[in-house]
Amino acid sequence: MSKIYESAEAALEGLTFDGMTVMSGGFGLCGIPENLIVALRDSGVKELTAISNNAGVDDFGLGLLLQTRQIKKMVSSYVGENATFEKQFLGGELELEFNPQGTLAERIRAGGAGIPGFYTKTGVGTLIAEGKEEKTFDGETYILETGLKADLSLVKAWKGDSQGNLIYRKTARNFNPMMATAGKITVAEVEELVEVGELDPDNIHTPGIYVQRIVKGNFEKRIEQRTIREKGAAS
């Protein structure tokens, strides 16, 4: 069966259900699966647990799902840039499982590797450690963190082929490769879709075995914060 779908909506057909856990790649607005996020919103699915570094901005990225109150819980490491997130969290409408960024990355990687838990020093003695098992190694205290998995992973890549092999571009790689391994089903959107054999095997970041569906998207690639120098200003 072909892994290629004609649209983001078609790529999600039959995969969504209320109460599901979804991973969404990206860092800020860099490397987010923007077409698939819109399709997820339009599917009407609700009570989502969303695992992502952050929640986009108010009117773009996962912020679109917050606007429609389709997300029940966020598992993330950064909650800035989004007034809707702040309002819903402070109002008790949105659950938050906060993670140090490196811990979040390792939890996702561990989930994709079949590792149920690991110990880390990050967060020891802070609110992050509350309720978590502690263990001593070589005289140092560590806390137990669990691996993360999802019913559906949505990732964005630069290039992909018809078998789902993916190449990411520069910092847009971010959380996408590890999330691709941690979803029961992974759907990828790409800027360029090529035939098998056109990608250099040594440069493939995500093997196609991890990807069940793929779609070519059109991207806005919005910049989260644009800082420019005034004309004529000294360098």
DSSP string, 95-120: EEEE--HHHHHHHHHHHHTT--EEEE
* Mean of per-residue pLDDT scores for the chain: 95
What does the pLDDT read at residue 224? 79
- Of 214, 200, 165, nearest in space to 33 by CA: 214
pTM for this predicted structure: 0.93
Residue 188, in any domain of the structure:
yes
State the total domains in the chain.
1
- For residue 140, being part of any structural domain is answered with no
Residue 57: give its domain's CATH number: 3.40.1080.10
How far from the centroid of its chain's Cα atoms is residue 162's Cα?
A: 22
Question: Is 47 part of any domain?
Answer: yes
Residue 154 lies in a domain: yes
131-178 pLDDT per residue, tens: 999 999 999 999 999 999 999 999 999 999 999 999 999 999 999 999
pLDDT at residue 231, rounded to an integer:
78
DSSP helix/strand/coil, 51: strand
Domain that holds residue 69: 21-115+145-214
pLDDT tens track for 55-99: 999 999 999 999 999 999 999 999 877 899 999 999 999 999 999
- Contact status, residue 180 vs residue 186, Cβ threshold 8 Å: yes
The answer as to whether 8 is a domain residue is: no
Res. 112 pLDDT band, cuts 50 70 90: very high
Residue 227 covered by a domain: no
What pLDDT sits at residue 95? 97
Q: Binning pLDDT at 50, 70 and 90, where does residue 233 land?
A: low
The b-or-e profile of 134-158 (16+ CB within 10 A means b, else e) is eeeeeeeebbebebbbbbbbbbbbb
Domain assignment of residue 224, yes or no:
no
Q: Under a CB-based contact definition with an 8 Å cutoff, are residues 34 and 60 in contact?
A: yes
- pLDDT at residue 235 is higher than 80: no
The answer to whether residue 2 sits within a structural domain is: no
Residue ranges of the alpha helices (H) in 13-53? 34-43
